[in-house]
Amino acid sequence: MDIATILGVVGSFVLVVLAIGPSGLGAFINVPSLIIVVGGTMGATMINYPLKEILGIVGVAMKTVFAKEASAKDTIAKFMDFAQKARREGILSLEGDIKELEDEFMKKGIQLAIDGLEPNAIREIMETEINYTMNRHKLGADLFTTIGTFAPALGMVGTLIGLVQMLQSMEDPSSIGPAMAVALLTTFYGAILANIICMPVAGKLKMRSSQEMEVRELVVEGVLSLSSGENPRIVEQKLACFLPPKQRELAED
């Protein structure tokens, strides 16, 4: 679980509520404004994306909290074990070990090496899967970026609606307040939806995708090393290039 995401969202809303303070939350709740921003934003997003992608939005958002972060260091350690065993007993001896792997991408790559495919063929298959995975991840991040773009725009639409209503009822002072509330709160809701939820979620999804792709590139190199029967020490040095300098030093110690 990613505690930073939870703390960020909760902390941001708490600070906003504290800033509202003496006014009370009641003054910042306006149903017409919510309908304009939330309803309008989702409607515009549905025009932009297929319904299937919209329905999966909650699952995509949950990846920012519950997705298991891939560890390059742990992955290298596994490849070191595999390389040493393959060196002693041959690559076919890994067939039983890969059944226990949780990483389906690594399992598939090592199975291709066990099956005797040429390194170029293995690289092509695995990099094709990496590219399609990146496209899927990009779609999820782009979905939240789109919502974050539409929300402030719909907030401005609500502001214009509120101002028009206010100007039409200048003769009735009692109606100016509700119209002004719609005008201001729609902008407020749009800014909150975009800058506390959607844009940060999109950024976290992009970061997680980048980290996962780095580990997958590491897996490709590890599988190719196993397929070529390289010395475990060479495998270690090659894969250590994927680690930051400080982590390389710790790994060597």
Q: Read off the pLDDT of residues 40-67 as tens digits, 9 standing for 90 and up.
A: 999 999 999 888 888 888 788 887 777 6
% of the chain surpassing 70 pLDDT = 96
**SS3 assignment for 171-215:** CCHHHHHHHHHHHHHHHHHHHHHHHHHHHHHHHHHHHHHHHHHHH
Query: Domain limits of the chain?
Result: 3-70+124-240
Q: Read off the pLDDT of residues 112-163 as tens digits, 9 standing for 90 and up.
A: 999 989 989 999 999 999 999 899 889 989 999 999 999 999 999 988 888 8
- Residue pair 197/204 in contact by the 8 Å Cβ criterion: no
pTM, two decimals, is 0.82
* Averaged pLDDT score across all residues of the chain: 86
pLDDT of residue 18: 86
pLDDT of residue 252: 52
pLDDT of residue 194: 94
Residue 159, Cβ neighbours under 10 Å: how many? Answer: 20
More confident residue, 253 or 95: 95
pLDDT of residue 193: 93
pLDDT of residue 241: 85
Indicate the pLDDT class of residue 224, thresholds 50, 70 and 90.
very high
Q: Read off the pLDDT of residues 174-189 as tens digits, 9 standing for 90 and up.
A: 777 777 877 888 999 9
Indicate the pLDDT class of residue 30, thresholds 50, 70 and 90.
confident
